[in-house]
């Protein structure tokens, strides 16, 4: 069945996978800063699956992935990125090679 043929209320559950496992990863993260960053990344991703007021079905379909989106996989990658706090700080301070430097 094509995405366009799926009822709108079923799209999030079909296209967003491993949401509960992603929540467990967030909850198991002891560093409060990393946990908040994961919460934010998760929230931003999840909002892409929701139809907002005034949004057309076509606009929603444009925002959705073509294949299922694995939230756990995404948050694992984000966590690795954010755990490099020194590299992130260097990057935010303008050092474009900040993440490439070994700490």
Q: Where along the chain do its domains lie?
A: 3-97
Say how many Å lie between the first and final Cα of the chain, rounded: 48
What integer pLDDT is reported at residue 29 of this predicted model? 97
Tell which wins on pLDDT, 97 or 22: 22
Dig out the tokens for 93 from the structure: 């301070």
In this structure, how many other beta carbons lie within 10 angstroms of the beta carbon of residue 47? 10
Tell which wins on pLDDT, 8 or 95: 95
Per-residue model confidence as pLDDT tens digits over 3-57: 677 777 777 778 899 999 999 999 999 999 999 999 999 999 998 888 888 998 8
pTM, whole model, 2 decimals? 0.81
Q: Measuring CA to CA, how many Å separate 32 from each of 40, 58, 77?
A: 12, 38, 17
């Amino acid at each position: 069945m094509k995405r366009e043929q799926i009822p709108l209320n079923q799209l999030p559950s079909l296209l967003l996978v491993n949401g509960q496992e992603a929540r467990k990863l967030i909850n198991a993260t002891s560093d409060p800063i990393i946990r908040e960053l994961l919460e934010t990344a998760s929230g931003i991703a999840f909002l892409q699956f929701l139809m907002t007021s005034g949004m057309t079905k076509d606009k929603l379909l444009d925002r959705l992935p073509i294949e299922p989106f694995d939230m756990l996989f995404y948050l694992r990658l984000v966590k690795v990125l954010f755990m490099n706090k020194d590299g992130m700080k260097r990057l935010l301070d303008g050092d474009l090679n900040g993440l490439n430097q070994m700490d």
